[in-house]
Structure 1
Amino acid sequence: MSRLASELHRLRRSPWEVLCSALVSCGLVLFSQLAVAIVPRLLPSISLLAMLPVAGLVFLAAILVGRFWRRFIRVAASAPLFVLFNVLFLWGVYLFVIRRDTSSLLDMLINAECALLLWGLYRILSGDPGIVAYESSFLEEAGCKDFVDAICSSEKYPSLSRVRHCNCCKANVRGYDHHCPAFGNCIGQKNHRLFMSLLTGFVVAESTYIMCSTKYITRCITSGTLRTENHLSLNMVIGTMLFSVLQVVWQVVFLIWHVYGICFNIRTDEWDKLEEIS
C-alpha cells in the first residue's frame, strides 16, 4: 500500500470526503485566480508594477474568503491539491492563450517544466521522507518508554540524531527538516534533495511563464490588437503573470533561506533552538 493510501486509511476519510476536498481546492484556485484577473479589468490605466501589490492583496482576500466558506460548509481543502490545480491552471492558460505567440524551443521548455513539476509533486507526496521504526527490543535496551523518549536522549545514540517525530504524519523521520503542508509530506533525509529540486523547479517554471506571458502582452500592445483581443483571455494572462511574480518573490527568498541552512548544516526544525541559545 502506498504512503498516500495508508495515510488516507489512517485518517479514515471516505472517498466522498476526498472528492469534496478536491472540489473545494479546485474551486478555491478558480476563485482566487479569477479574483486576481479582475485587477487589470478594474485598473486598466495603471502599470503592471503598480498592479502587483493590489493583486497580492486581492489574492490574500480571496484566500481568506475561501477559508471562511470552507469553515461554513465544513469541508477541508487540500494544500497539495491547491498547488496542483494552480500548476494546471497556469499550464492551461499557457496552452490555450499564450502558446500561439511562443517559439517552438520555448514551448518545449515550458511544457517540459510543467510536466516535471507534476511528476515531482507526485514523487514527494507519495515518497518516503525517511521514516524510521525501531523494535520494542531496542527501546527496552535503551531504557526508554517510547520512541519519542529515545529521540530526546539521542546524544547517547548517534543513530537517532536528527530523528524527529512529526505530529502531522504521526511518524519518526530521519534527517527531519520540516513538515511541508504544500507538498503534503515531511521533508527528511530521503526527499530533501527532491524538495530543493522541486522548489527550484517552481521558480524556474514560473519565471519562464512570466517571460512567455510578457511576450504575449507586448505583442498585443505593439501589434495594435489590444482592443480586438479577447478581454477575458488578456486579463487571465495578466492575472496569472502577476500571480507568478508574487510566487517567485517569496519562493526565491524561501529557497535562499534553505540554501543558507544547507551551507551551515542547519535544519529548519533547528532554527528555534538556535534562537533560544542566542
Structure 2
Amino acid sequence: MVELHDRKKPAKWPDLIGRCIVSLILVLLTQSTQFLVPHFFSDLSFFIQLLLSAMMLLTVASAAGWCRRLLRVRSSAPAFVFFSVLFVWLVYIAFVRQDASLLMNLLFNGQIILLIFGLCRMLFSDPGLVSHNPSPSDAIPQSLVLEIDTHHQDIGLGDRLRCCPICKTYVKGFDHHCPAFGNCIGHKNYVLFMVLLFGFIWTEATYITCLSQYSAESELLDGDGARLEVNFSRKVARSTMLFSILQLVWQNGRMDSLEEVSRISNCCSI
C-alpha cells in the first residue's frame, strides 16, 4: 500500500472567526445589492432584471475580491454558503411562510435543515486521505512518484491517488477540491457531495415555487392599506428569487461540467 504525507492542518480559531465575519459581510452586501434590482428596476421585465442581477453579482464579486486583497483579509467559502442559506431561510420565515401551505412549509424547512446538516457533514468528512508517519522531509521521492503513476494505470477511478493542489494532500479517488464545501471530493465523500448538490438544486427550486405563490398573493394586497409593507417584502422576496435562480443555473452548469470531467477521467483510467 502506498502511504503518503498528509498535512491538512486546521486553521486557528481567531482566523476562522475572522473569515466567518468577512463572509457574513459579503453575504449582506451581496443580498443588499440584489435588492437594488427590483427596487429601482421593478418596471422592467423579469428577464432583464435577471441579467441586471447577474451583472450586479459579478461586480460585487470583483469589488469584494479587490477589497480583500487590498485589506489582506480572507473569507470562508463554506461560511458564505451557510450564511446565504440562513439569509434565504430568514426571508422565507419573515415574509413567505404565511402564504405557503402547511405541506410546503414542512417541505422547505425540512430541506433547509438537511442542507445545513449536510454542509457540516461535508466540511468535516474524510474524502479518502492517505497519510503516513511524519518524516524529516515533506518531499516525495521520485521512486514514490513512479510507483504512484504505475498504481494509476492498474486501478480504477475510485482507487486512483492524486494530490489536491489546494490542500497539498493525497486523496484516494480524488475528483476535485470544492471551495464552496471546504473539502476535497474523493471516493469516501463523493456520494455525499452529489446528494448535497442535488439537495441545493431541489431546495432552490422549492423556494422559487414558494416565491411565485407569494408574489401572486401579494399582488392581491396592492390595494390594501399596508401597500408599503407589501411592496418592501415583495422586493426582498424578488431579490432572493433572482439570486436563487442564478444559483440554480450555476449549479446545473456545475453538475454538467462535473459529469464531463468524470467521463474524461474514466476514459483516461481505462
Shared fold per TM-score greater than 0.5: yes
Q: Which bin holds the TM-score, normalised by the shorter protein?
A: 0.7 to 0.9
Aligned pair partner of 1:217 in 208, 211, 215: 215
Aligned pair partner of 2:150 in 142, 153, 165: 153
Change (3 A) 1:119 1:241: same
Contact 2:218/2:230 (<8 A) preserved: no
Give the structure-2-normalised TM-score: 0.85
Contact 1:178/1:187 (<8 A) preserved: yes
List alignment gaps of at least 5 residues for structure 1: 1-5, 137-143
Deviation track 1:84-134 (CA, whole Å, cap 9, x = no partner) reads 111111111001111011100000000011111111111111000011235
Q: CA deviation at 1:225?
A: 4.8
Q: CA deviation at 1:68?
A: 1.7
Query: Residue in 1 aligned with 2:137?
Result: none
The DSSP-based 3-state class of the residue aligned with 1:100 is helix
Q: CA deviation at 1:145?
A: 4.1
How does 1:69-218 map onto structure 2 within 5 Å?
69-133=67-131, 145=142, 147-155=144-152, 158=155, 162-218=160-216
Identity, in percent, stands at 37
Q: What is the aligned length?
A: 255
Give the structure-1-normalised TM-score: 0.83
Query: Residue in 2 aligned with 1:28?
Result: 26
The DSSP-based 3-state class of the residue aligned with 2:39 is helix
Distance 1:179 1:46 in 2: 39
Distance 2:223 2:145 in 1: 65
Q: CA deviation at 1:261?
A: 5.4
Moved more, 167-176 or 104-113: 167-176
Contact 1:124/1:191 (<8 A) preserved: yes
Deviation track 1:198-255 (CA, whole Å, cap 9, x = no partner) reads 1100000001111111111111113435834344322211000000011111211222
Higher relative contact order (CA 8 A, sep 6+): 2
Query: Residue in 2 aligned with 1:140?
Result: none
The DSSP-based 3-state class of the residue aligned with 1:153 is helix
Q: Tell me whether 1:240 sits opposite 2:240 in the alignment.
A: yes
Letter matched to residue 204 of structure 2: E
Q: CA deviation at 1:170?
A: 2.0
Contact 1:24/1:77 (<8 A) preserved: yes
The DSSP-based 3-state class of the residue aligned with 1:57 is helix
